[in-house]
Amino acid sequence: MSKVYVSYNNIISSLGFDSVSVAKEVIQGKSGLKQIADASIMPEPFMSSLIDDEVLSAAFNNTSEKKYTKLEQMFIASLQDTFSQSNIALTDRVGLIISTTKGNIDALDDANDFPKECAYLDVLAKNVTNYFGFKTEPIVLSNACVSGVLAVAVAKRYIKSNMFDQVFIVAGDLVTEFILSGFNSFQALSSEICKPYDKNRIGINIGEVAVSALVTKNEANLSDDAVEILGEASCNDANHISGPSRTGEGLYRSIKSALNQANLTSEDIDYISAHGTATMYNDEMEAIALNRLGLEHTPVNSLKGYFGHTLGASGLLETIIGMQALKQNKLIKTLGFAEMGVTQPINIIEETTEKPLNTFLKTASGFGGCNTAVIFKKVK
């Protein structure tokens, strides 16, 4: 069976509009989070990383008559970059997966200029598909906060089942009043920069990005940060629709299944890019799952202190940063972490350091009890 890779990619974020620039900022320890005061989104000031509308329109450079929503502009701008780097023709063997939890949900707001129809995810998908002229029907994946990394797994599966040779995946969510009011009603938001795994963590920050990547079986045309997808799995906690499992069951099973498929053991993983939302229960759950797998000594980070929780995009965003970390042989520190705040020992990366790296594990967990784990290996 042929190998499947994650190759050319892009990040549109408050830290920059391409993966290399964004990774550079992250490695230098710069956070895209800052305090925002915008009463139209949230009554009180909040911590977030937002994409500047003007910078985005300049980057998108829309030449058509059609008007695109902010999220559509983000998706198109991100895909445009990945698409031009990839340099492949759109045939019926090229698929498109769009990962998002809420899409154009801001269109439901009476104050929004776009018609409410835009809130349908298939309408959003059609706008992106038509912009590029994809020959195949777009696939929208909406699986809460694992959507971004699950897209990598789903793309691989469609390539393995011979539906496609290459799949573009694009993931993104907006920071909206809809989302912030909901997480606030869950008392999950932190008014300070989030502190993953830290003793004094109080909650999450929500951020926005759009990210994209090419998933391909074509070994001949790979990016210099390309990784092979060795194993992937997505297991449910079967416990609660919003609270993470106290035993980390779904995450434990996801990682175990991904390791089995990759034919690897815990010792083979060089580092873990975890979910680390900085809520009490999520971080604790992850520490428990990692311990059950003998991964407590493996260096682990959360990137939420750089971007906030970017919802349906986070898993793919963190995969792309992980690819850059592998390429540059850098363990990236968990920004915001100071003092161990989980009951089970884990090896949090506290300073960004050089280390030869070949493999990494990306994990994510979300509402609905979903968990996803994907294992990657450096190609070059």
Partner 1 sequence: MDALKQELKESLVEQLNLEDITPAEIGDDDMLFGDGLGLDSIDALELIVMLDKTYGIKLTDPKQGRAIFESINTMSAYIAEHRTK
Partner 2 sequence: MENQFKISSYCHVKQNKISLNGKVLFSVKPEESTFLKQAYKALNVNYSKFFKMDKLSQLAFLAADVLFQYENISEENQENIALVMGNKASSLDTDRKHQDSIQDKTSYYPSPAVFVYTLPNIMLGEISIKYKLYSENSFFVFENFKTNYFYNYAQSLIVDNKADKILCGWVNVDDEDYEAFLYLVTPNGDLQHTEQQINTLYNELWTL
- Using rule CB under 8 A, residue 87 touches partner 2: no
Number of neighbouring beta carbons within 10 Å of residue 284: 19
Q: Which is nearer to partner 2, 254 or 334 (CB)?
A: 254
- Using rule CB under 8 A, residue 185 touches partner 1: yes
DSSP at 333: P
- Using rule CB under 8 A, residue 142 touches partner 2: yes
- Using rule CB under 8 A, residue 240 touches partner 1: yes
Query: In the stretch 60-99, what mask flags binding to partner 1 with x, by CB under 8 A?
Result: ----------------------------------------
Q: What residue has token string 């002229």?
A: 133
Q: Which is nearer to partner 1, 240 or 355 (CB)?
A: 240
- Using rule CB under 8 A, residue 61 touches partner 2: no
- Using rule CB under 8 A, residue 182 touches partner 1: no
Number of neighbouring beta carbons within 10 Å of residue 322: 26
What token pair was written down for 341? 């705040």
Q: Are 313 and 172 in contact (CB under 8 A)?
A: yes
**339 contact partners, CB below 8 Å, separation of at least 6:** 198, 199, 200
Q: Are 90 and 138 in contact (CB under 8 A)?
A: no
Return the range that interacts with partner 1 (CB under 8 A); candidates 17-25, 144-152, 182-190, 310-318: 182-190
Q: Give the CA count within 13 Å in the CB-facing half-sphere of 196.
A: 28
Count of residues engaged in binding partner 1, rule: CB under 8 A: 7
- Using rule CB under 8 A, residue 241 touches partner 1: yes
User: Which of partner 2, partner 1, none does 233 bind, CB closer than 5 to 8 A by kind?
Assistant: partner 2
Query: Is 351 exposed, middle or buried (CB count within 10 Å of its CB: 0-12, 13-18, 19+)?
Result: exposed
Q: How far is the CB of 243 from partner 1 (least distance, A)?
A: 5
Give the separation between CA 313 and CA 30, rounded to whole angstroms: 20
Q: Which is nearer to partner 2, 32 or 231 (CB)?
A: 231
- Using rule CB under 8 A, residue 369 touches partner 2: yes
Q: Nearest CA to 32 among 275, 305, 278, 274?
A: 305
Q: Which is nearer to partner 2, 59 or 128 (CB)?
A: 128
- Using rule CB under 8 A, residue 191 touches partner 1: no
Radius of gyration in angstroms for the set of CA atoms belonging to the chain, rounded to a whole number: 19
Count of residues engaged in binding partner 2, rule: CB under 8 A: 57
Among 35, 84, 242, 353, binds partner 2 (CB under 8 A): 242
**36 contact partners, CB below 8 Å, separation of at least 6:** 42, 45, 46, 47, 48, 50
Q: How far is the CB of 283 from partner 2 (least distance, A)?
A: 20
Q: Which is nearer to partner 1, 16 or 182 (CB)?
A: 182
DSSP collapsed to 3 states, 329-343 = CEECCCCCCCCECCC
Q: Which is nearer to partner 2, 43 or 345 (CB)?
A: 43
Q: Which is nearer to partner 2, 195 or 309 (CB)?
A: 309
What token pair was written down for 32? 């895209």
Query: Is 84 exposed, middle or buried (CB count within 10 Å of its CB: 0-12, 13-18, 19+)?
Result: exposed
Query: In the stretch 164-193, what mask flags binding to partner 2 with x, by CB under 8 A?
Result: -------------xx--xxxxxx-------
Q: Which residues pair with 13 in a beta bridge?
A: 16
Q: How far is the CB of 42 from partner 1 (least distance, A)?
A: 16
Judging by DSSP bridges, how do beta strands 299-301 and 227-233 pair with one another? unpaired
Residue by residue, DSSP assigns 274-315 as: ------HHHHHHHHHHHHHTT-TTSEEE--HHHH-B-GGGHH
Residues that bind partner 1 (CB under 8 A): 185-187, 240-243
Residue numbers of the site for partner 2 (CB under 8 A)?
Answer: 43, 101-103, 105, 108-110, 119-122, 125-126, 137, 139-144, 150, 154, 157-158, 160-163, 177-178, 181-186, 233-242, 249-250, 253, 257, 261, 366-370
